[in-house]
């Protein structure tokens, strides 16, 4: 590498600092991970595993290997937090900042090491080889085209590498505690016979530090520190000394403590498929830690959010994939770039996309397939930005039973669903959800039995499980089919019952408990329903869902002397009378996606 290249790099860095608009690509952040070492053998082993971890978190950025490790002796033991609790957030933050102030002395050395690693400092000289390799990894197809067809084939990559210098971070991982679930339960005072899990639990502090590489730093570095084959021998010592004395600023951007678990229930310990050894659980811990860190960091900083271009629409795909650590759980927003009348640019959200199939762009150069789930018409060239999905939703709904049969109850329901989950044989996402349903309904003057004589008022509480799925059949995915199946236990409480009753106009249909004696005990339902719904995306996180359901209720009453219900449906078993009652149910609800 000669002075010409050095000059080119310096000029391009000046151009970059003047105007950032030329390179349009996802610039992978460069991160040096450092670990606070500890005498604890579990922590040391976990540090080693994390260092060699190849999970999607570490695929998302350029890992810069640095030798620097810090020792925990420089950090005070956690005095307040023998246990991490959310309510201690303020105290936690102050402790983390205090610990960081002790670490930051060492971090200055790490930032210097990063620069020398990036500029491939070897045998007392620098080179751009490593930077250019990383720039090629970040370059889009079009940039590769421009770069490779240009007279100076490296200029485009120099431009990209300059942008990379604006995204240098140090991630310091300080594992404060690793313990077995048994040790954890013991600390919690749980008796040995009540300890249900085995595996590991960890408390990890981490710090994200930005290395600030300014125009002045670049200028000083290339003029006073850069050494290559063309550097005179007489200048070398002085330049090395200059680099050693060069001060590179760092700034703490984000810090947090996370609690990670890698455990299994003891019931499955010997299961041929699901049973896992302690060693296996320990080895999966780095994935848990790194994915939790990635979620928090991408929420905090857009630098850690994946952005790309939509390469084709309908079918939608983007040339991102395994190289960027794309996973089936990811959600993207598509944006249109708009030039306003005053010449300024803005981005306007146009649609929501979910990963349908992850492309292998490491080995096969296949693109990631995406499925639009709401929004306007998309077109190739739109920006797509990762938007963190919490993998769950809540549906608030009102169920109305339309038939005039026995105990046709209207209810308000809340469904907590987890998903989407499930993949096909071709590794495509199935958009399945599993959830818990909890509801409440009160009723008055509802027909209590199949004879037309008993009416009742009271309340009902359904609790159960629900399985549902989204099926998209339109290009834009604004509407979707929503088949579902649910099983609920419905507990009914009766205020009063009345024989041969009519609606009591004077008392809003609610009967006095003393008005009649209860003829039967409180019924219990086992409710199962199969439904087909239609969903409409109102926004990226809000959908309206209408469902029609065929409901089968198995209703059981305490058996008693009063037996007027249709004998075809009822029988006396174990002191109960029961009946199958078919109903139709309409439900309308709002779904909030997290």
Partner 1 sequence: MKILIILMFLFPSFLIGQKKNSWAYELEFISESSESSYIIKVWTYSKKPKLNIEKTKKSAIHGVIFRGVKNHPPLTNDISIENKKSDFFRMFFENGGMYSKYIISTGKSSIGMGDIIKTDKGYKIGFIVQINHRQLRQDLEIQGIIKGLNNGF
How far apart are CB 322 and partner 1 at their closest, in Å? 20
Nearer to partner 1, 145 or 274 (CB): 145
Which range touches partner 1 (CB under 8 A), out of 45-53, 56-64, 234-242, 302-310?
302-310
Q: According to CB under 8 A, which one of 337, 362, 390, 582 is a site residue for partner 1?
A: 337
Q: According to CB under 8 A, which one of 188, 341, 404, 474 is a site residue for partner 1?
A: 341
Strands (E), 268-382: 307-309, 316-318, 331-339, 345-357, 368-375
495 CB-side CA count, 13 A: 15
Nearer to partner 1, 345 or 473 (CB): 345
Spatial contact of 477 and 372, defined as CB atoms under 8 Å apart: yes
Helix (H), strand (E), coil (C) string for 375-434 = ECCCCCCCEEEEECCCCEEEEEEEEEECCCCCCCCCEEEEEEEEEEEEECCCCCEEEEEE
Distance CA 282, CA 587 (A): 46
Nearer to partner 1, 85 or 377 (CB): 377
How far apart are CB 142 and partner 1 at their closest, in Å? 4
Interaction between residue 442 and partner 1 (CB under 8 A): no
What's the token pair of residue 561? 């002397």
The helix-helix angle for 3-18 and 155-164 (nearest 10°) equals 60
Interaction between residue 69 and partner 1 (CB under 8 A): no
How far apart are CB 387 and partner 1 at their closest, in Å? 17
Give the number of other CB atoms < 10 A from CB of residue 362. 12
Nearer to partner 1, 167 or 257 (CB): 167
Spatial contact of 200 and 262, defined as CB atoms under 8 Å apart: yes
Q: According to CB under 8 A, which one of 83, 129, 141, 183 is a site residue for partner 1?
A: 141
Interaction between residue 270 and partner 1 (CB under 8 A): no
Residues 6+ apart with CB under 8 A from 87: none
Nearer to partner 1, 27 or 570 (CB): 27
Distance CA 263, CA 161 (A): 42
Interaction between residue 271 and partner 1 (CB under 8 A): no
Nearer to partner 1, 144 or 513 (CB): 144
Distance of CA 310 to the CA centre of its chain: 22
Nearer to partner 1, 288 or 320 (CB): 320
How far apart are CB 319 and partner 1 at their closest, in Å? 8
Interaction between residue 342 and partner 1 (CB under 8 A): no
- Secondary structure (DSSP) of 485-522: EEEEEEEEEEEEEEET----GGGTTPPPTTTS--SS--
Distance CA 176, CA 206 (A): 10
Q: According to CB under 8 A, which one of 44, 45, 140, 564 is a site residue for partner 1?
A: 140
Which range touches partner 1 (CB under 8 A), out of 37-45, 137-145, 295-303, 567-575?
137-145
Per-residue contact string for residues 371-410; x = within reach of partner 1 by CB under 8 A: --------xxxxx---------------------------
Nearer to partner 1, 351 or 439 (CB): 351
Residues of 389-406 as b/e, b for ≥16 C-beta within 10 angstroms? beeebebebebebeeeeb
Question: Which of 266, 205, 221, 198 lies closest to 128, judged by CA?
Answer: 221
Per-residue contact string for residues 15-34; x = within reach of partner 1 by CB under 8 A: ---------xxx--------
Per-residue contact string for residues 466-505; x = within reach of partner 1 by CB under 8 A: ----------------------------------------
Spatial contact of 256 and 294, defined as CB atoms under 8 Å apart: no
- Secondary structure (DSSP) of 465-480: EEEEE-EE-SSS-SEE
- The interface with partner 1 within residues 142-161 (CB under 8 A) comprises 142-143, 145-146, 149-152, 155-156
Interface residues with partner 1 (CB under 8 A) are: 24-26, 140-143, 145-146, 149-152, 155-156, 307-309, 311, 336-339, 341, 345, 379-383
């Amino acid at each position: 590498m000669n002075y010409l290249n050095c000059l080119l790099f310096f000029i391009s860095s000046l151009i970059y600092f003047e105007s950032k608009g030329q390179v349009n690509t996802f610039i992978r952040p460069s991160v040096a991970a450092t670990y606070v070492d500890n005498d604890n053998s579990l922590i040391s082993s976990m540090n080693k595993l994390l260092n060699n971890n190849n999970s999607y978190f570490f695929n998302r950025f350029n890992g810069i290997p640095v030798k620097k490790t810090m020792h925990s002796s420089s950090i005070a033991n956690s005095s307040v937090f023998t246990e991490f609790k959310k309510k201690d957030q303020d105290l936690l933050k102050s402790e983390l900042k205090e610990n960081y102030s002790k670490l930051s002395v060492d971090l200055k050395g790490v930032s210097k090491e990063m620069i020398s690693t990036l500029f491939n400092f070897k045998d007392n000289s620098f080179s751009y080889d490593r930077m250019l390799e990383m720039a090629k990894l970040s370059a889009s197809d079009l940039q590769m085209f421009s770069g490779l067809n240009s007279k100076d084939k490296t200029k485009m990559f120099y431009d990209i590498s300059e942008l990379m210098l604006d995204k240098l971070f140090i991630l310091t991982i300080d594992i404060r505690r690793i313990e077995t679930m048994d040790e954890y339960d013991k600390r919690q005072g749980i008796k040995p016979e009540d300890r249900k899990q085995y595996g590991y639990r960890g408390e990890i502090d981490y710090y994200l530090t930005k290395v600030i590489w300014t125009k002045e730093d670049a200028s000083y570095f290339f003029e006073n520190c850069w050494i290559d084959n063309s550097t005179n021998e007489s200048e070398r010592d002085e330049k090395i000394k200059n680099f050693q004395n060069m001060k590179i600023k760092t700034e703490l951007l984000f810090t947090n403590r996370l609690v990670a678990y890698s455990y299994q229930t003891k019931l499955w310990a010997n299961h041929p498929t699901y049973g896992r050894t302690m060693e296996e659980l320990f080895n999966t811990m780095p994935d848990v830690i790194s994915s939790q860190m990635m979620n928090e960091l991408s929420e905090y900083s857009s630098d850690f959010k994946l952005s790309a271009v939509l390469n084709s629409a309908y079918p939608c795909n983007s040339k991102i994939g395994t190289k960027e650590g794309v996973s089936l759980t990811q959600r993207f927003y598509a944006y249109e770039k708009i030039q306003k009348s005053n010449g300024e640019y803005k981005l306007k959200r146009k649609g929501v996309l979910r990963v349908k199939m992850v492309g292998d762009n490491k080995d096969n150069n296949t693109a990631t397939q995406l499925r639009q789930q709401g929004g306007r018409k998309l077109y190739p060239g739109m920006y797509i930005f990762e938007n963190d999905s919490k993998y769950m939703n809540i549906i608030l709904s009102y169920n109305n039973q339309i038939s005039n049969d026995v105990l046709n109850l209207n209810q308000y329901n809340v469904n907590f669903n987890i998903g989407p989950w499930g993949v096909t044989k071709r590794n495509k996402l199935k958009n399945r959800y599993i959830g818990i349903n909890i509801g409440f309904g009160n009723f008055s003057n509802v027909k209590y039995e199949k004879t037309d004589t008993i009416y009742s008022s009271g309340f009902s509480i359904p609790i159960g499980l629900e399985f549902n799925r989204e099926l998209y059949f339109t290009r834009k995915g604004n509407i979707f089919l929503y088949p579902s199946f649910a099983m609920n236990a419905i507990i009914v409480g009766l205020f009063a019952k009345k024989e041969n009753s009519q609606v009591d106009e004077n008392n809003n249909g609610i009967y006095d408990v003393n008005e009649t004696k209860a003829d039967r005990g409180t019924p219990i339902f086992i409710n199962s329903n199969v439904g087909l719904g239609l969903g409409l995306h109102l926004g990226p996180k809000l959908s309206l869902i209408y469902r029609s359901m065929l409901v089968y209720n198995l209703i059981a009453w305490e058996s008693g002397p009063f037996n007027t219900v249709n004998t075809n449906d009822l029988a006396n078993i174990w002191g109960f009378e029961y009946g199958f009652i078919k109903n139709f149910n309409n439900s309308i609800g709002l779904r909030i996606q997290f």
